Amino acid sequence: MDLRPDPIDADDFRVFPRHLDGKARSRHHAEYAGWHRDACWNGRRFERFPEYIVRAQSIADVGHSIDFARRHGLSVSVRGRGHSYAGCFLRDNGLLLDLSALDRIDVDPAARMAAVQPGVSARQLAQALAPHGLAFPTGHGGDVGLSGFLLGGGLGINFRAWGGMSAFNLRALDLIGADGELLHADAEHHPQLFWAARGGGPGLGFVAVKFYLDCQPLPACITGSSAHTGLDRLGALLQAVERADPPPALQVMIAVVPHGDGLQAALSTLAFADTAQQAQALHAALFSRLPAGLVEPLARDQPSSFEAIYRQSEAMLVSRRYRCDNVLTDRGAEAARILAAHLPLRPSPASVPLLIWRGEPRLPDAAFSARGRWFVSTYAQWDAERDDEANRRWLKALYDELAGVASGAYINEFDLEERSAQVERCFAPANWARLRELRRRCDPDGVFHDVRIGRR
């Protein structure tokens, strides 16, 4: 039997879109360039060109596209809402399956559950849940896609009180594998695929078409406090936060931002509570334990909300072009010293490091397995193409050095363009081996692109 894929001729491609509810464009189509450009949230142009882009309008479109790709030897890459900083769904010579139009949300308030399609954003989900008094630990940017976010683990709003990582709130998912079959996976059915979907990251070897999410009661009182200190005291601040051991319902974040001619560490905390009194107590649990004079308070117990958090996070990302990298580390003070040495050299003053206190979440048996009490991510951002290379080099040098104090990295903000060869850093060794083996078994013919950019 000849197993070689069929070559595509113009007729094949003319017929294929007729089976779709959505649309498809080949590289030769006049609209392709616009579709390629619009696929990425990041304003940088990625020189990786799929042969076809399909904008799916139905789950059947996903099956047809996988079938077409398999028959013709095209590797499939998948786009949720295109927020990957590395544009990792853009790959050469394959078929890009864009799921962003699949954005249905069904809420079952009695079961405290939401069934969500992959094109749904953080803000859309929060808005659908709030009228039912429910919430979900979405990403902090309102437009961030839930599907890429969840499949990579998801460091969401109020994540410490709500499961550690958002993916641990996944009850089940529907997915379509390399053979085009639609499966329902949960702890009992296809448990290996369910295991992989909880934090396995991009390139899993299947397309998730629906997520069944366990939701949380919407906290009646969300408040924020803020304070700042000099960059030279960042290490001391991190150690003080560690000693204070903040309660899970207090989210603690420190951004390094410009201040006058220099830089400062801006501490912000978010409390998720039922009453104003409880929220005050959460903030006080941290602020009352910081050494006197370490930070200068700016605001205390200010009303906040999911929408306010989305806007605050969006206000941090002000440029058109981005690169992002991160480490997870237990050595906060050393990471602070490395940041302080590299930040004055940054080519763009808009670039911001963000440090988030994770504590030590208890990890269930799931693909997500990266450890480290501090999440240290840097959003290099600038506007002009001519500055691409300087920013790339600066971020690489910073994270080459931070890797020396890292205990892991978070796949969704890992620089897959620069570090695809090191992607196993994002997983415990046994989990990485299990993910690779699972992928080999589920997708033996490589119907889907690999997580590593540059590898099929």
The residues of the shown chain that bind ligand FAD, judged by CB under 6 A, are 41, 77-84, 88-89, 99, 118, 139-141, 144-145, 147-149, 151-152, 154-155, 202-204, 207-208, 317, 412-413
Q: What's the min distance (Å) between Cβ of 143 and ligand FAD? A: 7
Q: Which tokens in the block code for residue 46?
A: 């990625």
Q: What is the 3-state secondary structure (H, E, C) of 347-404?
A: CCCCCEEEEEECCCCCCCCCCCCCCCCEEEEEEEEECCHHHHHHHHHHHHHHHHHHHH
Q: What ranges make up the beta strands (E) of 161-312? A: 170-177, 182-185, 206-214, 216-217, 221-230, 250-259, 262-273, 296-303
Considering the complex, state which of residue 137 and residue 235 has its C-beta at the smaller distance from ligand FAD. 137
For the CB of residue 257, give the shortest distance to ligand FAD in the complex, in Å: 17
How long is the chain?
Answer: 456
- What 281-285 contacts at long range (C-beta under 8 Å, 24+ apart), as own/partner pairs, is 282/247, 282/249, 282/250, 283/223, 283/225, 283/250, 285/244, 285/246, 285/247, 285/250
Q: Regarding beta strands 95-98 and 52-55, do their DSSP bridges make them parallel or antiparallel, or are they unpaired?
A: parallel
Which residue lies nearer to ligand FAD by CB, 124 or 147? 147
Closest approach, Cβ 75 to ligand FAD, in A, equals 12
Least distance in Å: CB of 81 to ligand FAD?
A: 4
DSSP letters, 200-218, are --S--SEEEEEEEEE-EEP
Question: Are the CB atoms for 24 and 17 separated by under 8 Å?
Answer: yes
Q: For ligand FAD, which is the closer residue by CB, 95 or 144?
A: 144
The enclosing H or E element of 240 equals helix 234-244
Is the Cβ of residue 235 or residue 443 nearer to ligand FAD in the bound state? Answer: 443
Residue 176's nearest CA partner among 26, 339, 67, 38 is 67
Q: What is the dihedral of CA 119, 124, 126, 130, to 10 degrees?
A: -130
Nearest approach, Cβ of residue 148 and ligand FAD (Å): 2
Comparing CB distances to ligand FAD, the nearer of 97 and 236 is: 97
Nearer to ligand FAD, 208 or 222 (CB): 208
Which lies closer to ligand FAD via its Cβ, residue 140 or residue 228?
140
To ligand FAD, the closest distance from the beta carbon of 353 in angstroms equals: 14
Distance CA 343, CA 354 (A): 12
Closest CA to 347 of 403, 392, 314, 378: 392
How near is the Cβ of 317 to ligand FAD at its closest, in Å? 5
User: Which residue, 84 or 268, has its beta carbon nearer to ligand FAD?
Assistant: 84
Compute the least distance from the CB of residue 416 to ligand FAD, in Å: 9
Say how far apart CA 456 and CA 454 lie, in whole Å.
7
Is 52 or 149 the residue whose CB approaches ligand FAD more closely? 149
Cβ of residue 13: shortest distance to ligand FAD, in angstroms?
A: 23
Instruction: Return the number of the residue (163 or 235) whose C-beta is nearest ligand FAD.
Output: 163
Name the residue nearer to ligand FAD (CB basis): 259 or 311.
Answer: 311
Query: What is the residue whose two structure tokens read 């853009």?
Result: 90
Shortest distance, position 297 Cβ to ligand FAD, whole Å = 25
**Shortest distance, CB of residue 2 to ligand FAD, whole angstroms?**
30
Q: What is the phi/psi pair of residue 64, to 5°?
A: -60, -40
Please say whether the beta carbons of 58 and 82 come within 8 A: no
Q: How far, in Å, CA of 269 to CA of 349, rounded?
A: 24
Q: How many CB atoms lie within 10 A of CB 28?
A: 9
| Planar angle of CA 122, 258, 160, nearest 5 degrees | 35
